[in-house]
Amino acid sequence: MTLIEHDLPTGLAQLALSAAADGGAEVAQFRIARHDSRGISLRDGVVENIGSDSNIALSVRVVVKGAWGFAASTDLSENSARDTVARALAMARLSARVSSDPVVLANEPAHGEQSWVLPIGDDAFAKSDDEVIALLQSWNTRVAQASIVNHVDAHTAMGRDTTFFADLNGNAITQRRDRISAQLTAIHVGENGFEDMRTCAPPAGRGFEYLTGTGWDWDAELAAIPDYLDQKVKSPSVTAGTWDLVIDPTNLWLTIHESIGHATELDRALGYEANYAGTSFATIDKLGNFKYGSPVMNVTGDRIADHGLSTVGFDDEGVAAQQWHLIKDGILTGYQTDRSIAAKVGLERSNGCAFADSATHVPIQRMPNVSLQPSDEDITTQDLISRVDRGIYIVGDKSWSIDMQRYNFQFTGQRFFEIKDGQIVGQLKDVVYQSKTPDFWGSMEAVGGKSTYLLGGALNCGKGQPGQVAPVSHGAPSALFRGINILNGRQEASA
Amino acid sequence: MSEISLAQSVDIALELLGASGGVAVAESNASANLRWANSSLTTNGDMHERTLSIAAFVTATDGIGAGLASGQIRTRADIAELVARAQAAGIAGGASEDAAELFAGPVDEDFYDEPAVVDLSQLERVAGGLGHAFADDSVQFFGYAEQSADTSYVGTSAGTRIRFVQHTSRFELCAKSHERDRSSWSGQSGTTFADVDVQAHAQAVLEGLEFQKTRIDIEPGLHKVTLSSSALADLMIYLMWTASAREAAEGRSVFSATAGGTRVGERLSPRNFTVTADPHARGLETLNRVISVGTSTFASTFDTGMEIQPVDIIRDGILTALGSSRHTAEIAKLPFTPMADNIVVTDKQGHGSLRETAARMQDGLLITCLWYIREVDPQSLLLTGLTRDGVYVVRDGQIVGAANNFRFNESPVGMLNRIVDAGEAINCLPREWADWFPRARVAPVVIDGFNLSTRSDAI
């Protein structure tokens, strides 16, 4: 067990849990969460915003007469803890009047007193503002000196969650995890309008070492950005139609997120997000028999990946972190669950996907790290490109949209390299790829090997009402897709 | 926070900021919500949050800088720690481009009043209405109700003391057939649940499901469509978020002129079509003063306390204003234009309800909701997204059935030139952006050649 230095008033847990039990709670969970963040943004090399935020709150979730009740407060006093318990009990009683679907929780062994810390290298919160600004300004200078570049935006963000969870089962779990992200965008403004080119480094569960070369080669990418932008400005507009695609993991992670990650959330499949985020075509009757994609498609869910944004020791219901298959050999084999959702379909145990983005929000089923597994063979991205006569190699994410059952999606990217006869011959622009989830994954002919694998991800995955935001990672190799519908974004606008 | 009130925390922060000054904003957010699915209540919440945010002004070598810090405070020491963090950040950041003399804004007499709270009895009334609706087991209901009371205490070292209370309510009801082959939605925003008629919403979604019993397959392509108020609101909100004076002046926006400068003064629509942000709009009232702890192309912390006037971004079809702070207005060589947190979209020739407007279309598609709207091409402001929960086929002025859903690819700027008819503006809940932008009064419109690019099989 790792000792975590923190200032969370965990002593309130006993008071709150006792009060909840005395008030008739069949289940009671107590959380305190502290969220620290830092952000610095530069516009054309000048600091536009620099600041930090530190939020802390407590919450109580109970089940009374088979119904959930949740209340939260940023007041961490004993009186507030008692009041929060009372309000949670009241919400549960109100809800019980109109609930016909009693809450049942899948079993989870008690883990007792635990602490867990995401391993990082260099503490980003210990870095001075001066040091971080100097780094961003050096990036800005390197890119801005190119004549093609008229403007440069750069920013970095750092986050740290320190959480405590306790329940009537005797759990008392303290955890801490860090994350960091940075992006730089170069903009060209010319006679024919404007174009931009952005770095592709994903956010990661790492410390400041990530911005100085561990886990991402910033020097190489920053050096290449002006040339990528120049090529894009001068590139021809894509011809709409059917193309073969080699998709880099810097782009494919987002397609995985939208078309697999959200589609395999069991709460969505059962209708619990129907009013807001939507449902899923991957309904429970398809488990074990639905052909999601080609036989080379193997997808896992996990909360244990190194540097993963969804990696934890225990989820927000005290379930220990796990890894499992969502899709095996192209067949749907699993879902993401929390304890109540798992119980609804008779699963013996949740796979640990309960998450709340702050103590003021109720834990709901959120996405674990969902990753497409690489081939055991040593297949490089160049190997995949060499198999394409006429195609596009897509790098970096940009625009994304998918329908409310996770069928029809449309994505763009940062850089689109045209492939002719197995070779890259230059860039294209205005490329938009659009497909239907099972068709798209069914067209995946090959995946790259481990050397092409990268953990992408996002900090801003939205779900739930009231809305919650979650960080999540998605690993992917490069992959080859045949016969994908390509739209021309410029032509779509003037259709 | 129990020992120090939010108003006092603002005073203490400004005292600790000293001669260099700054801005302090304390906020109380009280909210309660109910959520339901498969005709049964699911999650809920009763949340109380309090936060203090500080913009500390500091003297840098080449001007005035600003650093930001926010968090919860309980004691004077907590406030001092926030102020120190903000000042340190300000020193590191150097001179701010947008630094300007603070404006001496109003001093509200009720500044030291307690924050507003949420009346849970209203939520109980909604729950009662839902219980009645759930008794109809011919369909299944899904939805969300939220009531919030946000109280802001704003102070600046120029003497401004503003207390502002924003009450917001939101009710959404979705109904689906048991076979999940039909889906309909109804939503309402306001300040209270008092005027939410759950039964009326239930009747509206049931009527939608009834229309959907007749399914008519429609191919993708350019279609004449009637966009509901909610659907148009979602598109016009994105247009408003893009209407930045600085971005346009620097050539980085759909509102940039080809020859340099902005497109202000250009006709975007042949109709008397107007897009307004008005803090005094009846039923949509919002704060008429700038509050900004931080800098963007639209706002500067140095403008905190300045008055927000009603602004027509588009007036009678002509682009007339772009949003700005004092600083970005200077860069763009346009008037200072802070924008209120609401939207009113009208058409002078517009008349009649959504159903009447769709009937005048004669033949086309009536689109009730848009979803997952994202930018594809910033140059044209090409947006993509989906239709959702009801695309109705109109023939000879009558709804004759429901079509499949579509992915659209359209520019909310480009399509203004193709508006051919409009209805009367009504208060509505923007389906996509309601989390961030619940205050809207928007007319339904008929648009020629709306690009329903591909088919979506989603229900």
Give residue-wise pLDDT tens across range B268-321.
999 999 999 999 999 999 999 999 999 999 999 999 999 999 999 999 999 999
Domain ranges of chain B: 6-209, 214-459
Among A191, A234, A186, A188, CA closest to A428? A234
pLDDT in tens, A94-123: 999 999 999 999 999 999 999 999 999 999
Give chain A positions within 8 Å (CB) of B58: none
Of A210, A234, A258, the last residue of a domain is: A234
Quote the CA–CA distance of A131 and B122 in Å, as a whole number. 52
A461/A330 same-domain check: yes
Query: Rounded mean pLDDT of B199-222?
Result: 98
Among B354, B351, B38, CA closest to B204? B354
For B:307-346, CB contacts with A below 8 A are none
Give chain A positions within 8 Å (CB) of B90: 50
Contact A442, A291 (CB under 8 A): yes
Residue A120 lies inside a defined structural domain of this protein: yes
Among B301, B328, B289, CA closest to B57? B301
- Report angle CA B437, B443, B446 to the nearest 5 degrees: 120
Whether the per-residue pLDDT at A381 is higher than 90: the answer is yes
Torsion on CA atoms B285, B286, B288, B289, rounded to nearest 10: 170
Residue A3 lies inside a defined structural domain of this protein: no
A285/A369 same-domain check: yes
A466/A333 same-domain check: yes
Query: What is the share, in percent, of chain A residues with pLDDT greater than 70?
Result: 99
Of B44, B93, B140, the CB nearest to A133: B93
Quote the CA–CA distance of B303 and A116 in Å, as a whole number. 44
Quote the CA–CA distance of B89 and A52 in Å, as a whole number. 8
Residue A420 lies inside a defined structural domain of this protein: yes
pLDDT in tens, A145-187: 999 999 999 999 999 999 999 999 999 999 999 999 999 999 9
A412/A351 same-domain check: yes
pLDDT in tens, B103-135: 999 999 999 999 999 988 889 999 999 999 999
A190/A44 same-domain check: yes
Give chain A positions within 8 Å (CB) of B251: 150, 189, 193-194
Of B67, B174, B385, the CB nearest to A50: B67
A402/A320 same-domain check: yes
A230/A330 same-domain check: no
- Residue A125: CATH number of its domain: 3.30.2290.10
Whether the per-residue pLDDT at B410 is higher than 60: the answer is yes
Query: Does the distance separating the beta carbons of B454 and A405 come in below 8 Å?
Result: no
Query: Does the distance separating the beta carbons of B459 and A73 come in below 8 Å?
Result: no
Question: Which CATH code for domain B6-209?
Answer: 3.30.2290.10
Nearest CA in chain B to A406: B458
A230/A245 same-domain check: no
pLDDT in tens, B153-172: 999 999 999 999 999 999 99
pLDDT of A494 reads: 79
Residue A7 lies inside a defined structural domain of this protein: no
Torsion on CA atoms B367, B369, B374, B380, rounded to nearest 10: 30
Whether the per-residue pLDDT at B331 is higher than 50: the answer is yes
The answer to whether A110 contacts chain B (CB < 8 Å) is no
Q: Given phi > 0 = left and psi -120 to 50 = alpha, else beta, which region is A144?
A: alpha
Quote the CA–CA distance of B242 and B235 in Å, as a whole number. 11
Quote the CA–CA distance of B95 and B327 in Å, as a whole number. 14
Nearest CA in chain A to B297: A48
Of A234, A260, A282, the last residue of a domain is: A234
Quote the CA–CA distance of A220 and A213 in Å, as a whole number. 10
Whether the per-residue pLDDT at A2 is higher than 90: the answer is no
A309/A455 same-domain check: yes
pLDDT of A366 reads: 98
pLDDT of B1 reads: 43
pLDDT in tens, A429-456: 999 999 999 999 999 999 999 999 999 9
The total number of structural domains that make up chain A: 2
Whether the per-residue pLDDT at A135 is higher than 80: the answer is yes
Whether the per-residue pLDDT at B203 is higher than 80: the answer is yes
Interface test with B, best of A38, A74, A156, A160 (most B CBs within 10 A): A74
Of A202, A234, A266, the last residue of a domain is: A234
In the chain, the amino acid numbered A246 is V
The answer to whether A320 contacts chain B (CB < 8 Å) is no
Query: Rounded mean pLDDT of B414-423?
Result: 98
Q: Which domain holds residue A267?
A: 241-493
Q: How confident is the model at residue A1 (pLDDT cuts 50, 70, 90)?
A: low
pLDDT of B62 reads: 87
Of B130, B144, B258, the CB nearest to A275: B144
pLDDT of A192 reads: 87
Residue A2 lies inside a defined structural domain of this protein: no
A149/A256 same-domain check: no
Quote the CA–CA distance of B213 and B211 in Å, as a whole number. 5
Of B49, B146, B174, the CB nearest to A360: B49
A41/A184 same-domain check: yes
pLDDT of A7 reads: 82
Query: Does the distance separating the beta carbons of B375 and A100 come in below 8 Å?
Result: no
Interface test with A, best of B2, B4, B38, B43 (most A CBs within 10 A): B43
Non-local CB neighbours of B359 within 8 Å, separated by 6+ positions: B394, B397, B398
The answer to whether B62 contacts chain A (CB < 8 Å) is no
A78/A110 same-domain check: yes
Residue A4 lies inside a defined structural domain of this protein: no
Give chain A positions within 8 Å (CB) of B93: 40, 47, 50, 129, 133
pLDDT in tens, A193-235: 999 999 999 999 999 999 999 999 999 999 999 999 999 999 9
Query: What is the share, in percent, of chain B residues with pLDDT greater than 90?
Result: 97
Q: How confident is the model at residue B61 (pLDDT cuts 50, 70, 90)?
A: confident
Of B45, B183, B295, the CB nearest to A70: B45
Print the SS3 string covering chain A: CCCCCCCCCCCHHHHHHHHHHHCCCCEEEEEEEEEEEEEEEEECCEEEEEEEEEEEEEEEEEEECCEEEEEEECCCCHHHHHHHHHHHHHHHHHHHCCCCCCCCCCCCCCCCEEEEECCCCCCHHHCCHHHHHHHHHHHHHHHHCCCCCCEEEEEEEEEEEEEEEEECCCCEEEEEEEEEEEEEEEEEEECCEEEEEECCCCCECCCHHHHHCCCCCHHHHHHHHHHHHHHHHHCCECCCEEEEEEECHHHHHHHHHHHHHCCCEHHHHCCCCCCCCCCCCCCHHHCCCCECCCCCCCEEEECCCCCCCCCCCECCCCCECCEEEEEECCEECCCECCHHHHHHCCCCCCCCCEECCCCCCCCEECCCEEEECCECCCCCHHHHHHCCCEEEEEEEEEEEEECCCCCEEEEEEEEEEEEECCEEEEEEECEEEEEEHHHHHHCEEEECEHHHCEEEEEEEEEECCCCEEEEEEEEECCEEEEEEEEEEHHHHHCC
Give chain B positions within 8 Å (CB) of A62: none
Query: Does the distance separating the beta carbons of A187 and B252 come in below 8 Å?
Result: yes
Whether the per-residue pLDDT at B375 is higher than 60: the answer is yes
Nearest CA in chain A to B127: A98
Quote the CA–CA distance of A210 and A201 in Å, as a whole number. 10
Q: Quick check: pTM over 0.80?
A: yes
pLDDT of B3 reads: 74
Nearest CA in chain A to B173: A275
Of A56, A189, A406, the CB nearest to B251: A189
Strand partners, A27: A63
For B:349-378, CB contacts with A below 8 A are 371-378
The answer to whether A212 contacts chain B (CB < 8 Å) is no
A/B interface, count of CB pairs below 8 Å: 275
The answer to whether B176 contacts chain A (CB < 8 Å) is yes
